[in-house]
């Protein structure tokens, strides 16, 4: 019996030590929470404090009971970070292809598609955060893409979407909807922008979105395998 209590205590100490270390690392490496987001022409995209207010709107909706953010939440509705990132990047590609080639992106040759994807990846991987002013700057075309995504999300959360179990009037006003959109936009920015001095995003290239260069890294694959092996090893040790 004494041996079991010692084993139990060791598991508790080791587990909470690892959790404490991971929590510290998350705090140190989390994406910056800016005061506002502007485009490179100085036009305000997300107003002062709207990211925090938008998070409050998300929480008032039920938070992770209504879709997910960065992969955390329920699966009745989409992951909003992934959905926004894909819609925004698709908008940019469509505008470029229409303006430069006179036809939709899907109808371009592989060579022309590759040229536009390379440009897209550059503007999305660019960080754009200024610590002194606590501001994120994005390309003007991303500001236009924001408005397009805002219209789509407004339709879902203000008019309702039965397939996602979202009733009409879930977000009560355009002002709150814009705040909520600002929060989602920030999560999408964090998912694609590279950490300073690194080649991976703040979310370690999650979600998978090849249009902006978000692909699994070797570290992600390695530690996913290690975690599965450790889980199985722990279960076996408990049974033994």
Give mean pLDDT in consecutive 10-residue pieces for the chain, a chain of 240 residues.
Answer: 77 82 70 95 96 95 89 87 97 97 95 96 96 96 97 96 91 96 97 93 93 88 85 81
Q: What is the pLDDT of residue 217?
A: 84
Tell me, yes or no, whether 48 lies in a domain: yes
Q: What is d(CA 193, CA 12) in angstroms, rounded to the nearest whole number?
A: 37
Tell me, yes or no, whether 28 lies in a domain: no
- How does pLDDT run across 71-105, given as a tens digit for each residue? 888 778 899 999 999 999 999 999 999 999 999 99
Q: What is the pLDDT of residue 132?
A: 95
Range of the domain at 182: 36-230
**pTM of the full predicted structure?**
0.86
Tell me, yes or no, whether 136 lies in a domain: yes
Domain count, the chain: 1
- How does pLDDT run across 31-44, given as a tens digit for each residue? 999 999 999 999 99
Tell me, yes or no, whether 40 lies in a domain: yes
Q: What is the pLDDT of residue 27?
A: 61
Tell me, yes or no, whether 71 lies in a domain: yes
């Amino acid at each position: 019996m004494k041996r079991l209590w010692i084993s139990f205590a060791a598991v508790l100490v080791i587990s909470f030590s690892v959790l404490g270390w991971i929590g510290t690392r998350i705090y140190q490496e989390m994406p910056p929470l800016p005061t506002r987001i502007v485009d490179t022409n100085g036009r305000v995209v997300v107003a002062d404090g709207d990211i925090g207010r938008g998070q409050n709107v998300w929480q008032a909706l039920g938070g992770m009971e209504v879709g997910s953010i960065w992969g955390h939440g329920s699966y009745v509705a989409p992951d909003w970070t992934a959905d926004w990132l894909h819609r925004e990047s698709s908008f940019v590609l469509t505008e470029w292809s229409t303006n430069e080639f006179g036809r939709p992106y899907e109808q371009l040759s592989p060579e022309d598609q590759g040229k536009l994807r390379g440009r897209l990846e550059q503007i999305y991987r660019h960080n754009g955060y200024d610590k002194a002013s606590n501001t994120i700057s994005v390309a003007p075309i991303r500001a236009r893409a924001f408005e397009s995504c805002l219209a789509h999300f407004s339709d879902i959360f203000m008019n309702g979407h039965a397939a996602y179990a979202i009733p009409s009037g879930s977000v009560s006003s355009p002002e709150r909807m814009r705040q909520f959109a600002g929060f989602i936009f920030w999560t999408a920015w964090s998912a694609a922008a590279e950490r300073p001095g690194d080649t991976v995003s703040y979310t370690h290239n999650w979600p998978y979105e090849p249009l902006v260069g978000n692909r699994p890294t070797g570290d992600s694959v390695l530690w996913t395998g290690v975690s599965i092996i450790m889980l199985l090893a722990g279960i076996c040790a408990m049974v033994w």
